Amino acid sequence: MKRVGLVLLLGLVLGGVYLLANTGKLALVSGSVLKQKSFTLEYTAFYTGCQHEERKEECHSPRTRNELLEKLTNEGWVITSFTSERVGLEKEETKLCPGCQEQEFIGIYGNEIGVYAGSPEKPGPLKQVIPVNISRLPKAEIEDLRAGIVCRGAQEKWRILEGYQN
């Protein structure tokens, strides 16, 4: 009984190896056919300043591939997956993501008003605390703050904040 089990196991392993070898061959064949087509670069950047991840994809001609990968590696990108059609790249940045660098919104910090980087949908770190006790504000205004008020530029931000002054 034990021997039958062993033979079966061996058969399974061999079968698996055969399958793997075959699919590997298939991938090679389709790879050479696709050589004329473009390949995709898949970037994933992780920004430690706000813990946000940004992804983007680019299509390139295969002729520029090696040069591009060399350049990107020198820029600190790490290759995480590698096929003839798709190359995955990852990089960690110690700054804020582009969204958090460009945008800010007004919200609640504890019982006071806080200015945060980013947007209410994708909030970043706290940037400023405005010492205004929000419990004395009308309910509708507290609701607005809870939802987050997006400001377009510093001027607008300070104009909105002035409205909350004690």
Residue 157 makes contact with Zn ion by CB under 5 A: no
Q: What's the CA gap between 109 and 59, in Å, rounded?
A: 43
The nearest distance, CB 77 to Zn ion, in angstroms, is 19
CB nearer to Zn ion: pick between 123 and 145 = 123
Residue 100 makes contact with Zn ion by CB under 5 A: yes
CB nearer to Zn ion: pick between 38 and 101 = 101
CB nearer to Zn ion: pick between 52 and 157 = 52
Binders of Zn ion in range 115-144 (CB under 5 A): 124
CB nearer to Zn ion: pick between 87 and 100 = 100
Residues in contact with Zn ion, total (CB under 5 A)? Answer: 5
Among 87, 89, 97, 106, binds Zn ion (CB under 5 A): 97
Among 52, 77, 106, 145, binds Zn ion (CB under 5 A): 52
Residue 50 makes contact with Zn ion by CB under 5 A: yes
HEC secondary structure over the chain: CHHHHHHHHHHHHHHHHHHHHHHHHHHHHHHHHHCCCCEEEEEEEEECCCCEEEEEEEEECHHHHHHHHHHHHHCCCEEEEECCCEEEEEEEECCCCHHHHHCEEEEEECCEEEEEEEECCEEEEEEEEECCCHHHCCHHHHHHHHHCEEECHHHHHHHHHHCCCC
Binders of Zn ion in range 5-34 (CB under 5 A): none
Chain residues that interact with Zn ion, rule: CB under 5 A: 50, 52, 97, 100, 124
